[in-house]
Structure 1
């Protein structure tokens, strides 16, 4: 096993933590860099701690970075301040393991989070723990509950009209079958990718912007997965050269596969950890729909947003949900004027999948059911 020395800011004091070379580089905003540099030596102000922040917490299986941050801070997305990272470390956050004990140290009006048994920093002292560069270990805790979104990552397909028309398509099924199921054969035109395994999907519902009515994309229904067993080719028939479509074998189905269903390469497994962070610019928008058959969404459900990567939205962004203010009468005045109460933040979204003009987010917390048309914004 190989190890590599790295210098970490001492105030993080998270012990011997792992960092993967496969992890994606997360966007680091100017605001995050400034915050992290401010707290790297000092810690956070006591006023920023959660009211019931524990003095110590033993990391256990099932914990998440979001959950631990919620224990100690009033705003979980302010994770750089919790760990006291400098801007280099924000790009590839450390992984934390069950069994570690985190201790909250309060001194001089500030607070630092340390691993039990670690010595406090002094002056310009730095720690250089040994770091294993490897694949993401199975027992490292995730930023958010990974099991809630991982199945969705392979299933969610949002395409515009041109993309759907150009996607490889099933043109025939095995003889005698209108629809095919697991283990059966179908034939496909248009395969350009060299991938061996594909997702199958069917034209789905249009995702319309609640404000403009514009179709932002088409949420295509996941049908299943298939393996390519024979590539496309050509054949001579009665002196003519005819195309021979590729052959696929259905591996797994959510519903039976039929002529006209489209294909897309199966994405690589998502190894990267999703790290909560504040958008680097002001973002406002509305919820398009609740994923699945539900009309409203609660905690741990998935919603589609009318903003995507083209608008600056990216994986890991934290957003506030807003409840529209009610219209009430002023009964303290004889005129009985109608008044509109201000909107109130009542929940939190965590963006985990983005397309060009659409994104999907997990409802992390919410006080009331969430519906299409509800507003979201950058956290306050």
Structure 2
């Protein structure tokens, strides 16, 4: 085996791997991340001449070698003032990279500044040689799909794809409830066995087609629009996961008179994982189907958005949310909001007394840009957004608007 493996991109953009005397073709289509028509149009427009130098980040490097763990968002932030404008980054490199998600560790991106405009390329300015990437020795034939860069680091979002749930209060009230555990414990954790009573109309059964995996929730807290006080939905507090072992049933029990009486027996569950301690009265909802993590494509909404932070996810005791935390906002699918939409956070309205002239008049201060959030999960009237870049703590009532 040679001391290194070389990956070379040919004129058609195909990837091949050269390992000693063996030539193998790499499958570069294992993953297909979405690229919208508007994003492609933006990229094509920019590719004609590049972007103005004024749109570059102040410390944009002349070149950058992609590393494992990088994200499209992070690389965009190196070169552009606004990372969500990644289609423009792609447009700067449209000739070399047909899909912006097909950037791999080891590739070097070069910044070419000419005539007041900038472009990115996978070859040094003035060079026509195809790109060569050196990587460590690996299996001679492999898929590069899993090595392609995600937009954001998956671990920031994946836990929240199943945790927050917005329901009608009645849905949770009618869901199966935990009534007891073994040894009469008050609090339960992962590994404990518990007993559950379902709705009379649809008792819990272990039969083909019925769910066996459940999530455990508590309460249904109203999510209110800070501006109007209107209830937008109810957020159930996620507690953990459970597996249904035995369904509800009736058992014939001797009644002492030589006869038997049919007596109700609750369903049995095992708690598989717990985020917080579980107790009697907590409710079960079927585990939602969960596919593989999908890369989000940050982009500006096409319609006008005016939203407010309605809750900080995780604890009612939180007063401020920080970077990489999650907030619920007052817009959802009925407003046209989609996963990947990027919004600018503004500070909440603040008033001060102007005592400079001795009159103490109340003056409203301007709403300041406080960072960026990206929507990643939507419900009808509420969405959850990840705080990407935050200058100060985010509070309930802070505004979110279209990025400028």
- State the alpha-carbon separation in 2 of the partners of residues 346 and 246 from structure 1: 50
Whether the aligned pair in 2 keeps the contact of 1:283 and 1:377 (CA below 8 Å) is yes
Q: 1:219 aligns with which of 228, 235, 248?
A: 235
- State the alpha-carbon separation in 2 of the partners of residues 225 and 336 from structure 1: 56
Q: 1:298 aligns with which of 322, 325, 339?
A: 322
- State the alpha-carbon separation in 2 of the partners of residues 337 and 176 from structure 1: 62
Segment drifting more, 173-182 vs 77-86: 173-182
Instruction: Tell me the TM-score normalized by structure 1.
Output: 0.78
Using a 3 Å threshold, how does the CA distance of structure 1 residues 118 and 258 change in structure 2: closer, same or farther? farther
| Structural mapping, 1:24-39, within 5 Å | 25=34, 28=36, 30=38, 32-39=39-46
Q: Which residue in 1 is equivalent to 2:215?
A: 199
Whether the aligned pair in 2 keeps the contact of 1:17 and 1:96 (CA below 8 Å) is no
Using a 3 Å threshold, how does the CA distance of structure 1 residues 182 and 327 change in structure 2: closer, same or farther? closer
> Does residue 183 in structure 1 map to residue 199 in structure 2?
no
Whether the aligned pair in 2 keeps the contact of 1:22 and 1:271 (CA below 8 Å) is no
| Structural mapping, 1:29-108, within 5 Å | 30=38, 32-84=39-91, 93-108=100-115
- State the alpha-carbon separation in 2 of the partners of residues 175 and 181 from structure 1: 13
- State the alpha-carbon separation in 1 of the partners of residues 37 and 307 from structure 2: 20
**Which secondary structure state, in structure 1, belongs to the residue aligned with residue 160 of structure 2?**
helix
Using a 3 Å threshold, how does the CA distance of structure 1 residues 29 and 289 change in structure 2: closer, same or farther? farther
Q: 2:293 aligns with which of 247, 271, 279?
A: 271
Q: 2:345 aligns with which of 297, 311, 321?
A: 321
Q: Which residue in 2 is equivalent to 1:253?
A: 274
Segment drifting more, 67-76 vs 170-179: 170-179
- State the alpha-carbon separation in 2 of the partners of residues 17 and 41 from structure 1: 30
Using a 3 Å threshold, how does the CA distance of structure 1 residues 321 and 355 change in structure 2: closer, same or farther? same
**Which secondary structure state, in structure 1, belongs to the residue aligned with residue 119 of structure 2?**
strand
User: Which of structures 1 and 2 has the bigger CA Rg?
Assistant: 2
> Does residue 367 in structure 1 map to residue 391 in structure 2?
yes
Question: Which stretches in structure 1 are left out of the alignment for 5+ residues?
Answer: 1-6, 9-15, 122-131
Whether the aligned pair in 2 keeps the contact of 1:174 and 1:180 (CA below 8 Å) is no
- State the alpha-carbon separation in 2 of the partners of residues 115 and 307 from structure 1: 40
Instruction: Tell me the TM-score normalized by structure 2.
Output: 0.74
How many residues of Structure 1 are paired with residues of Structure 2 in the alignment? 350
Q: 1:155 aligns with which of 150, 154, 163?
A: 163
- Residue 287 of structure 1: how far off its partner (Å): 0.8
Whether the aligned pair in 2 keeps the contact of 1:20 and 1:133 (CA below 8 Å) is no
Using a 3 Å threshold, how does the CA distance of structure 1 residues 153 and 217 change in structure 2: closer, same or farther? same
Question: Which stretches in structure 2 are left out of the alignment for 5+ residues?
Answer: 1-11, 14-25, 129-140, 254-258
Q: Which runs of 4+ in 1 moved over 4 A?
A: 16-23, 117-121, 132-136, 190-193, 231-245, 325-328, 333-339
Q: Greater relative contact order: 1 or 2 (C-alpha under 8 angstroms, separation 6 or more)?
A: 1
**Which secondary structure state, in structure 1, belongs to the residue aligned with residue 302 of structure 2?**
coil
> Does residue 208 in structure 1 map to residue 215 in structure 2?
no
Q: 2:305 aligns with which of 280, 283, 291?
A: 283
- State the alpha-carbon separation in 2 of the partners of residues 344 and 162 from structure 1: 40
- State the alpha-carbon separation in 1 of the partners of residues 337 and 109 from structure 2: 32
Once superposed, what is the RMSD of the aligned Cα atoms? Answer: 3.6
- Residue 367 of structure 1: how far off its partner (Å): 2.2
- State the alpha-carbon separation in 1 of the partners of residues 394 and 215 from structure 2: 30
- State the alpha-carbon separation in 2 of the partners of residues 40 and 101 from structure 1: 19
Segment drifting more, 280-289 vs 108-117: 108-117
**Which secondary structure state, in structure 2, belongs to the residue aligned with residue 50 of structure 1?**
coil
- Residue 278 of structure 1: how far off its partner (Å): 0.8
- State the alpha-carbon separation in 2 of the partners of residues 175 and 328 from structure 1: 61
